[in-house]
């Protein structure tokens, strides 16, 4: 498997996400073994998720979120696409300048 290379800023965000997942597990008083069994993953995989490893399959993250009843959190990914909206607005403005209206 190819090693993923990310900027430190992104690694920090993954670590925060992993910590949030770990805290959610602990709040629910679930052990590593319980989550692994319910999510059908290895203990090592959950440890990597909770450490924010970029080398864990996205599907494993989803399995853990399902187990913790947090699967709806994935809807927040790219939910507020500020850059995409700005680019779209620029294109719309440029098109309106070129239109005969």
**Rounded Cα distance, 14 and 50, in Å:** 9
Domain regions of the chain by residue span: 8-76
The pLDDT score that the predictor gives to residue 101 is 62
Q: What is the pLDDT of residue 13?
A: 95
The per-residue pLDDT for range 39-66, each reduced to its tens digit, is 999 999 999 999 999 999 999 999 999 9
Distance between CA atoms of residues 61 and 57, nearest Å: 7
Identify the CATH class of 8-76: mainly alpha
DSSP state for residue 73 in the 8-state scheme? G
Place of tokens 């800023």: 9
Q: Where are the alpha helices (DSSP H) in 28-57?
A: 32-39, 43-50
pTM over 0.85, yes/no: no
């Amino acid at each position: 498997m190819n090693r993923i290379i990310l900027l430190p800023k992104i690694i920090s965000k993954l670590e925060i996400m992993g910590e949030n997942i770990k805290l959610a597990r602990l709040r629910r008083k679930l052990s590593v073994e319980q989550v692994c069994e319910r999510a059908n993953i290895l203990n090592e995989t959950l440890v990597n998720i909770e450490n924010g490893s970029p080398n864990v399959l996205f599907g494993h993250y989803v399995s853990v979120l399902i187990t913790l009843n947090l699967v709806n959190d994935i809807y927040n990914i790219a939910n507020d696409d500020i850059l995409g909206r700005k680019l779209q607005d620029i294109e719309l403005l440029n098109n309106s300048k070129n239109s005969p209206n």
